[in-house]
Amino acid sequence: MGRDANSGNLKRVFVNQQNVSLTGSSGTALGAFSVLRFASVGGIVSGIGSVTVKCEFAANSGSWLTSSTVAINSGAGVFSFPSYGRHANLSLSQASSQSLAAVFVYGSP
């Protein structure tokens, strides 16, 4: 845990998944994370077909107010969202394929 005490000076991996299953091509939740010490949330999504990466921000977890989205088409795509709150809720939506090769999301100071 000592390493997390100084996490504001380091990138932190939030999601690192491979072979992500998208049930019924609708999408999947990646989770909610504290982004208080990070200036941005970024990452890469790789797959066949298209998918929308959605990032919602809030002052308190569960009260999502601000949303940022980016569409990733076939192949790999990178994204970066400025951090607008204390917490971020990440999800994949509007997928046109059943699975993705990889999802990697991190917080950057």
User: What would the pLDDT profile of 3-43 be if each residue is shown by its tens digit?
Assistant: 555 555 678 999 998 887 776 666 788 899 999 889 999 99
Q: In the chain, what are the domain boundaries?
A: 21-108
pLDDT of residue 82: 93
pTM: 0.80
Topology at the third CATH level for domain 21-108: Jelly Rolls (2.60.120)
Predicted confidence (pLDDT) per residue in 59-91, tens digit: 887 788 878 899 888 888 999 999 988 999 998
State percent of the chain over pLDDT 90. Answer: 36
Beta strand 87-93 pairing with 27-34: antiparallel
B/e letters for 21-37, b = 16+ CB within 10 Å, e = fewer, are ebeeeebbebebbebeb
Distance from C-alpha of 65 to C-alpha of 104, rounded to nearest angstrom: 23
Q: What are phi and psi of 94, to 5 degrees?
A: 50, 45
